[in-house]
Amino acid sequence: MNLIEDIQPVTYLKGNAAHLLNQVNETRRPVIITQNGLARAVLQDPVSYESMRNTIDLLKLMVQGEDDIRAGRLNDQDVVFSRIEAGLMTRKEQAA
């Protein structure tokens, strides 16, 4: 983060929105928007935002998996593959 470029007051945003949009899309760095000296918003490019959301979703799945392990909600690999195979066979039979 570049503190001089990446933290701007809301008054700067009002007059330079196009410049800030170009900046976040070119640098892929978010810009923190302040109001009365306090951080109030973050301006971020859509590619970085989507990447962040995907990362958060994966982390949630990992936590859920760890919770399942701690709670003993486990299946052997053979059981899982047998269920998948049975489901695929059922779909194949229904399609025929």
The domain segmentation of the chain, as residue ranges, is 1-44, 46-96
Residue 3's pLDDT is 72
Average pLDDT, the chain: 95
pTM of the model: 0.71
* Residues with pLDDT less than 50, the chain: none
The one-character DSSP state at 68 is: H
Distance CA 59, CA 7 (A): 28
Count Cβ atoms below 10 Å from residue 31 Cβ, excluding itself. 22
Q: Which of 50, 34, 52 is nearest to 42 (CA)?
A: 34
What's the confidence (pLDDT) of residue 80?
A: 95
Q: Is CATH 2.60.40 correct for 1-44?
A: no
Measured in residues, the chain has a length of 96
